[in-house]
Amino acid sequence: MNQKLSQRLYLLMLLPVVALAPLAALVRYLWAVLTNPGRAWGIARAFDRVFNVAANGDERETVSSRAARARDEGRAWGCVLCRLLDRLDAGHCDQAKGV
């Protein structure tokens, strides 16, 4: 069997784990909100990075830092998202660039 096909089959076998992981993380996030807010922020950042990867971004980057770069490059979506995020948390995108 060629390598690409076997890799795809392996990825398909991981599907149940990939499907259950967000549910487990969400339950842990809700518990952490009540018991350990620092852990909750870490889980929220992990979800942020997963969303960024799903949107063709780098897995090491958050949506906010990606939006800040896009804004700095004059891309409309980055400007709009940073404006929205900055209304919720002043300077959010600029702070995220260091993340």
User: For the segment 36-55, what is each residue's pLDDT rounded down to a tens digit?
Assistant: 999 999 999 999 999 999 99
The reported pLDDT for the residue numbered 97 is 82
Asked if pLDDT for residue 72 goes beyond 60, the answer is yes
**C-alpha angle 8/12/14, rounded to 5°?**
120
* pLDDT beyond 90 at 92: yes
Q: Does residue 1 have a pLDDT over 70? A: no
Per residue in 26-40, pLDDT tens?
Answer: 999 999 999 999 999
Alpha-carbon Rg of the chain, whole angstroms?
17
Give the percent of the chain with pLDDT over 90.
Answer: 91
